[in-house]
Structure 1
């Protein structure tokens, strides 16, 4: 892939376009299990931003407090998509689960809309732990987290700093600060990085003059041109089709503000990955995923109890919703063993 093409893809996928908070939040991209109930909840993070989530409860849970899981991701998705599907599946297996919209996206609050932050989005996981830990049905000493795609990196970042998190698992993990700062496969040159930062600096002048935050280009097009890389086609086939489309999802219906990448390009995630130990980590990636290298590199960096699971023939997006491929049984045994 030519360097200019890589730069263009990075710009489109990561910077995106602002998107008004509208749509039908009652639409889910997966059926609710007959074995669980789902209820809308809200809670605030440490910055006072109100987050909205769905709490999934096993119907036959008995009277004893249960282990719980906070779940979010992918980057640019909402709780009615992959994180809700995971929450639904893990609640079927006996966990209380919370799928939530990150700050500034979906039904969660925060202005401007559809901006991300390595710090605030890490804090969102800890806020979800706060919420779960005060529920009478939850054993606050048995809380884990699951991060999907870009929120896999946030989940690991949260586990490093939040010692209340007992175990952490990721699927199709992205390190968003690495990919924004260095491009895919770390191919972004210093000159290209400088140009991108200069463009965002110029955009800040325009935003300051206008008194509003401007959108960038769309993440995904209305139609494919036919010359896109396969992973872009895979994203399109999830987010832009009935399979995974949701009006509240930036990836389905727009995307990020034009200056969204700034803090990620200056503030690395996962600096303290080794401090998750001795708590266990489960890292899951598809064999054919374009993002596989993020997971494998984190596995090498992490210390203590860690497990790497590579799913045969799976691509990145397969682990969003293909329930016959997502290793829910492995995740169940991992959390059952480590949330004691």
Structure 2
């Protein structure tokens, strides 16, 4: 299997302090689209035949942000974990840069599972995943297709296909979608003629005076020392503008009702995005599914606030279903 050689930063450049309780190293692995993914591996300093967890998200973040924090915290609880950069972003390969795809990004989770099954100190029958924000939707999609995933946690989930096709709170109608398609396909023409790829701009900065609270929350995370990272899509120039086309034309979560393994969905009670988790949860079946609401929490509180993120609940969930 071919893996493209990529350079990864070996120094600690995360947005959170390194834990002395776990070992850390960089790893790479290929997906089935020929893209090499870069990841941080966090390993308990003792133990064999360990349960494992792959983590990614938020949508537009890198492994040095929320996903790395989650992965390190779960490694402290005895799980071998990886936090990976999705295809075309961060330290992972793929060109053009900063694009996303519901199909390729679902495959990214499956490629992480491939990698984890081959590690000498893990139990390949005890694999879980965590998806944060837009990667919560990818995680559910992966759980629906990949029966090797025994337990799935979503945190502050977005369904990026629903958002791009219908807008926030499903306010976009067919005429608005057609206008969006016209605009983005015109952009494709311009990109090809220019030999470059226009970016959508990332999180707005500076903030307009009338910015909604959730935009203020995104700015407070991505554009300040709290969460900024030089490789983060959202912290900088944003996604390749035409990425929205594939998400508006394909749907995630079509087979979530067929997920037989365990799912824990976590969302902030005050999050603008709560309806994504509530509606996705309604489609799940079986007595091993749970929706946990965090009182008073916003969407981005679950990115990095260790006093809000329910790591104890997640630990108990994974220990139960990866036993």
Q: Same fold (TM over 0.5)?
A: yes
Q: Assess if the C-alpha contact under 8 Å between 1:25 and 1:80 holds in 2.
A: no
- 1:68 and 2:52 are equivalent in the alignment: yes
Q: Which residue among 223, 232, 235 is the counterpart of 1:240? A: 223
- 1:255 and 2:241 are equivalent in the alignment: no
Where in structure 2 are there 5+ consecutive unaligned residues? 1-6
In structure 1, C-alpha distance between the alignment counterparts of 2:159 and 2:204, rounded to whole Å: 24
Q: Assess if the C-alpha contact under 8 Å between 1:23 and 1:247 holds in 2.
A: no
Partner of 2:4: none
Tell me, what secondary structure is at the counterpart of 2:25? strand
Q: Deviation at 1:205?
A: 1.5
Q: Deviation at 1:206?
A: 1.4
In structure 1, C-alpha distance between the alignment counterparts of 2:10 and 2:210, rounded to whole Å: 32
The number of residue pairs the alignment matches comes to 316
- 1:182 and 2:182 are equivalent in the alignment: no
What TM-score, normalized by structure 1, do the two folds share?
A: 0.91
Partner of 1:326: 309
Partner of 1:228: 211
Partner of 1:303: 285
Tell me, what secondary structure is at the counterpart of 2:149? coil
Superposed CA deviations along residues 56-111 of structure 1, whole A, max 9, x for unmatched, are 0011x23x210000000000000000000000100000000000000000000000
Q: Assess if the C-alpha contact under 8 Å between 2:127 and 2:148 holds in 1.
A: yes
Partner of 2:198: 214
Q: Assess if the C-alpha contact under 8 Å between 2:37 and 2:84 holds in 1.
A: yes
In structure 2, C-alpha distance between the alignment counterparts of 1:225 and 1:161, rounded to whole Å: 42
Q: Deviation at 1:23?
A: 9.6
**Match runs of 1:5-20 below 5 Å:** none
- 1:195 and 2:151 are equivalent in the alignment: no
In structure 2, C-alpha distance between the alignment counterparts of 1:105 and 1:194, rounded to whole Å: 28
Q: Could you say which structure has the greater relative contact order, defined with CA pairs below 8 angstroms and 6 or more residues apart?
A: 1
Q: Assess if the C-alpha contact under 8 Å between 2:10 and 2:26 holds in 1.
A: no
- 1:146 and 2:146 are equivalent in the alignment: no
In structure 2, C-alpha distance between the alignment counterparts of 1:25 and 1:318, rounded to whole Å: 27
Partner of 2:247: 264
In structure 2, C-alpha distance between the alignment counterparts of 1:296 and 1:171, rounded to whole Å: 12
Q: Assess if the C-alpha contact under 8 Å between 1:24 and 1:247 holds in 2.
A: no
Structure 1 stretch displaced more, 203-212 or 47-56: 203-212
Structure 2 CA distance for partners of 1:100 and 1:329, relative to 1, 3 Å: same
Give the alignment's Cα RMSD to 1 decimal: 1.5
In structure 1, C-alpha distance between the alignment counterparts of 2:61 and 2:263, rounded to whole Å: 23
What TM-score, normalized by structure 2, do the two folds share?
A: 0.95
Partner of 2:321: 338
- 1:96 and 2:80 are equivalent in the alignment: yes
Superposed CA deviations along residues 192-211 of structure 1, whole A, max 9, x for unmatched, are 11100000111112122223
Q: Which residue among 253, 269, 273 is the counterpart of 1:291? A: 273
- 1:45 and 2:45 are equivalent in the alignment: no
